């Protein structure tokens, strides 16, 4: 386990972003591929969209609560414009998520609206994560401690959709560097770690089979590829 006073190790954020890139990039196609009149498949995909939106919201609320204030407090001159941009982007993503929820409620009558909102949301999310990786994470390593970074991760976990933590772990582990994943798990209680390691990969494989039609869905990449 890392010294809590050491510099923050932000590698786990890249791991989470990889998961978001893979899963969100697939959403517009999943929506467009639902056969007309197939209410069961429509409900399955809609539930998946809402689930991912909830995961993203929990992730961003942790940043809002625990990352932006610390960065502004300790390096305001250097980080202020970047944090302002991040907060603006979070606000835009929140607006798109609200539009998405509304569109899902009208999906039966207007399926094209859901896919169109998702196209916009995915583009905005890719832009946001790219800037976060190139600008914000180096600043977090400079101004935050390992203990504070772990606290933010735990806050994010507490904000995830209820009962889905094991699935989210497996979803994240799918493309993760095993060394980074082991480091991330090291801060968890042994019983929680054991459950995630034993059940997470299996849970995601089963879930991916139902959502993507395969236990090994296409891996993440640049938007549009």
**Shortest CA distance to 82 belongs to which of 124, 126, 137, 125?**
137
- How many C-beta neighbours within 10 Å does residue 54 have? 17
CB 30 within 8 A of CB 42: no
Whole-angstrom distance, CA of residue 22 vs CA of residue 220: 4
* DSSP for residue 7: B
Percentage of the chain exceeding pLDDT 90: 79
From the number of C-beta atoms within 10 Å of its C-beta (0-12, 13-18, 19+), residue 158 rates as exposed
Whole-angstrom distance, CA of residue 221 vs CA of residue 225: 6
Query: What architecture (CATH level 2) is domain 11-160?
Result: Up-down Bundle (1.20)
Contacts of residue 179, defined as CB under 8 A and 6 or more positions apart, other chains included, come to none
What is the pLDDT of the chain when averaged over all its residues? 93
* DSSP for residue 68: H
| pLDDT tens by residue, 108-139 | 989 899 999 999 999 999 999 999 999 999 99
User: With a threshold of 0.75, does the pTM exceed it?
Assistant: yes
Which among 2-11, 74-83, 94-103 has the top mean pLDDT? 94-103
Of the two residues 223 and 38, the one the predictor is more confident about is 38
pLDDT attached to residue 127 = 97
- How many C-beta neighbours within 10 Å does residue 195 have? 15
| pLDDT tens by residue, 163-204 | 999 999 999 999 999 889 888 887 778 888 888 888 999 999
Q: Provide Rg for the chain, Cα atoms.
A: 18
* DSSP for residue 213: S
Backbone angles phi, psi at 191, to 5 degrees: -70, -40
Contacts of residue 215, defined as CB under 8 A and 6 or more positions apart, other chains included, come to 205, 206, 208, 209
- Helices of type H across the chain: 11-32, 39-66, 68-105, 111-131, 137-143, 146-158, 165-173, 178-185, 190-212
pLDDT attached to residue 160 = 92
Domain boundaries, the chain: 11-160
2 pLDDT exceeds 80?
Answer: no
Longest CA–CA separation in the chain, Å: 56
């Amino acid at each position: 386990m890392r010294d809590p006073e050491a510099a923050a190790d932000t590698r786990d954020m890249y791991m989470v972003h990889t998961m978001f890139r893979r899963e969100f990039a697939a959403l517009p196609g999943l929506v467009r591929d639902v056969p007309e009149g197939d209410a069961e498949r429509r409900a399955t995909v809609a539930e998946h969209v809402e689930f991912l939106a909830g995961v993203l919201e929990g992730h961003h609320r942790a940043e809002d609560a625990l990352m932006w204030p610390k960065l502004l407090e300790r390096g305001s001159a250097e980080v202020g414009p970047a944090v302002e941009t991040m907060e603006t982007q979070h606000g835009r993503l929140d607006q798109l998520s609200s539009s998405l929820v509304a569109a899902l409620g009208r999906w039966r009558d207007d399926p094209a609206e859901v896919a169109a909102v998702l196209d916009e949301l995915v583009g905005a999310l890719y832009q946001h994560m790219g800037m976060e990786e190139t600008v914000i994470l180096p600043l977090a390593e400079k101004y935050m401690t390992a203990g504070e970074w772990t606290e933010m991760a735990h806050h994010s976990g507490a904000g995830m959709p209820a009962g889905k933590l094991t699935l989210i772990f497996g979803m994240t582990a799918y493309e993760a560097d095993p060394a980074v994943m082991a480091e991330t798990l090291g801060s968890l209680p042994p019983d929680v770690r054991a459950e995630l390691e034993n059940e997470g990969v299996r849970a995601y494989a089963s879930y991916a089979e139902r959502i993507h039609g395969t236990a090994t869905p296409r891996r993440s990449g640049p938007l549009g590829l």
